[in-house]
Structure 1
Amino acid sequence: MFCSCSVMTGFAQPPVNYDEAKVGVYQLPPLLITNSKTKVRSSSDWDHTRRKEVLQLFKENMYGQFPGPDAEMHVVMQKIDSSAIDGLAISKQVRIYLSKGENGPYIDLLLYIPANTTQPVPVFTSLNFQGNHNISMDENILISQHYLDFLKFKKADASPTRGVQERRWPVKALIEHGYGLATAYYGDLEQDHADGWETGIRTSLAHQLHIKPADWSAIGAWAWGLSRILDYLQTDKNVAATKVIVMGHSRLGKTALWAGANDPRFAAVISNNSGEGGAALTRRNYGETLSIITKAFPHWFISKYQSYQDDVNTLPMDQHMLLALAAPRPLYVASATNDKWADPYGEFLGAKNAEQVYALFNKKGLGTDQMPAPDMPVGNTIRYHIRTGDHDVLLFDWMQYIKFGDELVK
């Protein structure tokens, strides 16, 4: 099994700080001051001026550009099972082609919808790490060819497996609470290694999308794929088109945040254990740092981001600004007690410092300045919890997201 966390391997790792007293002094870039040094005083000021500036900062310095819609996208229904999950769900397996014909890049989408409703339902959408066939033991799920290709690249056992990450995907619980689930393998878009861009969409769609591979990143490619999944979901009669929630864990939590920042059609944004480069404040010297992550996973970001390794305080933005780009939509940030590498307190502070934008829309944030106790969620339109346990996404996390959706999206 391959780890989905961003722990650095294969590199001489510098000393990692886990002492709050040694985090250092830092000052966050102002969120509500425009490039022309004027104060943002209203939601209109944010929407029409400052939001565009903040989004551009992340495009220029971190994740790269975000192409527009794919005019050549088309879909083929591969398989429908009307009695999935013990008859509770309908499953659809849809191939989303990203270019003309059927020889180019594609996303294989697995969609579960409750079987006992005639009304469109809200849907959680999230990329997965090991192929659709690994989220369930369901024999009807097609084996991911892109994942098998990745195993061969890694010189690992390429025999097909099922359900390896089933515990991360409580499909039955989601269905029973009236939600659908849409997921796809992130390697359909770009394989997660330094040379993945060579065979991923950053190369295969470069001419079509009018963007050079170096002008965006792996996280950008994965996030763009989430928007293409949303394009399809908005055409599916079983899906409530305005109630699609984007969620991601670890590096895919970073991806969900970037997708939500660029695509306002997502009804809500959820970051699970996204850490450095996600919800955690970059300027905090705690756990994984900008220097560590850009050395270990340079392909996740554009090359400009590496230039801040020696002095993170020169970075013109920080991650509270990324979280603020979700406003005024509901935002959930989650951490885990044993996941010090991801800096849980830094994730909490990221969410806390995004509140000032939500206030412009008269939306309430966390409602506290204090880190909550484990397993005690806090917040309103912005929510946060730190779950007891490790870097993972578990049923406890999903149950909070379901409650979040029930109150703010449904």
Structure 2
Amino acid sequence: MDHALQTAIDQVQSARADGQALCLRGGGSKDFLGRSHGALLDTRTLCGILSYEPTELVVTVGCGTPLAELEAVLAEQGQCLPFEPPHLRWSLPSTEQASTATVGGMLAAGLAGPARASVGGVRDYVLGLKLVNGLGQHLSFGGQVMKNVAGYDVSRLMVGARGTLGLLTEVSLKVLPRAPAEATLCFVLEQAQALEHLHRWGGQPLPLNASCWVLDDSVAGVDAKPCLFVRLRGAVAAVEAACQKMLAEVPGQRLDPAQASADWELCRNQQLPFFTRPPAPDAQLWRLSLPQTAPVVRLPSAPFVEWHGGLRWLWALPGAAQEVQTAAREAGGSAAIFVPGTEPVAAQAHALTPADAALARVSQRLKASFDPKGLFNPGLSPDANQSRA
């Protein structure tokens, strides 16, 4: 990666000298979140597994490495990225058959999958990274072990920064072994009942890993019934005991493991029917980040609920923006549009994200420190919703 790294550094230094903006881009799977303007700097040349110690549960990888490639290497050793970063294949052109998501895009977007509420998010697994700042300097932060830090934890600050603070070149990640056992349970429950049971189960020593609630489900062949799906992961004895306990408390069924696994993968990448069948051509997909303990929120339509109540997806017409944001704010959270479309729509999505004045000031100071000339991804800003991503 040495030649590719030097080429990238030269491009940053040249852009700085010429006052030219740079658009940092990997595989493009997150383009719908917003595109910046400027000369393209393709990060995919910064690729490769630089070091991997399965016994130490640490991997160091170039940020242009395909996410699918990293996950395949980890799977060979029975390990994984437990936060299940989405590949978002639906956002790709129909001619693209495979995921183009990169490790750098995973960090820049900061998005996590169904297991987020139980295992943590992207930033919880970042041990250290290297980046090129707006001065063309190649800097190193953190390392390959978990440790306390004083001041800003720069490695984790980069998660969700959307490439606005620097060009990520490599990252060291903590990985974990795959759970020895897994089971998915399905319960026919209204949203309020589902949230009540999730909150109660969450306070017990049960191996809860992921959950989702949907009003009109076709995932497991259950037609037009409100369903709660709960995934359990852990030791064989713990999973089996939890299945018996939960099914004894609430009538439900245990799903076929192969079908359930495929459905959770669709959930991870927003490919379930809820996401692929908008109720109207101009409907917008909203992402509500709420406290897990938030009750049922009055919304324009029934949401798709994940993260034990902490993440709620919603289809709403363009005129419902104020209603949705007010409902999210009153529940102690925030809401932003999360929908593919034209660049104006993407820009509108982030303009609608509630701004926190104190957070905005910190972001401005960080930007001035890392990228004083504003070279990287102009027009984008760190996503305020990533506080719970």
Give the TM-score normalised by the residue count of structure 2: 0.27
Structure showing greater relative contact order (alpha-carbon pairs closer than 8 Å, 6 or more residues apart): 2
Give the TM-score normalised by the residue count of structure 1: 0.26
Please tell me whether Structure 1 or Structure 2 has the larger radius of gyration of its CA atoms: 2
User: Per residue, is there more strand in 1 or in 2?
Assistant: 2
